[in-house]
């Protein structure tokens, strides 16, 4: 899939699909890196969900590129 996700499909659906393909131990002691056109359109909540649930596949970490979405979120969290 490329681009924005269809209505009703979220980051959790992406990670659950991946876990279904690789299994609950498919990424044991590994890092999962997520990138591409669909990820570029994903909001921070979706990215955080995927990163958090990467451990459900045994991964030690779920990684995303730092981009404009990330920077905007960090700026909002910084406060005045």
- The per-residue pLDDT for 74 is 93
* Look-up of token digits 């981009």: 67
Helix (H) or strand (E) holding 37, with range, is: helix 37-40
Q: What is the pTM of this model?
A: 0.89
Dist. CA 20–CA 56, nearest whole Å: 11
pLDDT at 78 over 90: no
Judge contact between 57 and 24, C-beta under 8 A. Answer: yes
pLDDT by residue (tens digit) across 20-37? 999 999 999 999 999 999
pLDDT by residue (tens digit) across 31-60? 999 999 999 999 999 999 999 999 999 999
- Render 19-55 in DSSP notation, one character per residue: HHHH-TTTTTT-EEE--SHHHHT--HHHHHHHHHHGG
Residues 63-75, mean pLDDT to the nearest whole number:
94
């Amino acid at each position: 899939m490329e681009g924005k996700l269809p209505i009703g499909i979220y980051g959790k659906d992406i990670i659950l699909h991946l876990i279904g393909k690789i299994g609950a131990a498919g990424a044991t002691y590994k890092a999962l890196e997520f990138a591409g056109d669909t990820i570029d359109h994903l909001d921070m909540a979706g990215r955080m969900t995927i990163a958090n649930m990467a451990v459900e596949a045994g991964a030690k970490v779920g990684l995303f590129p730092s981009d404009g979405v990330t920077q905007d979120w960090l700026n909002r969290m910084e406060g005045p």
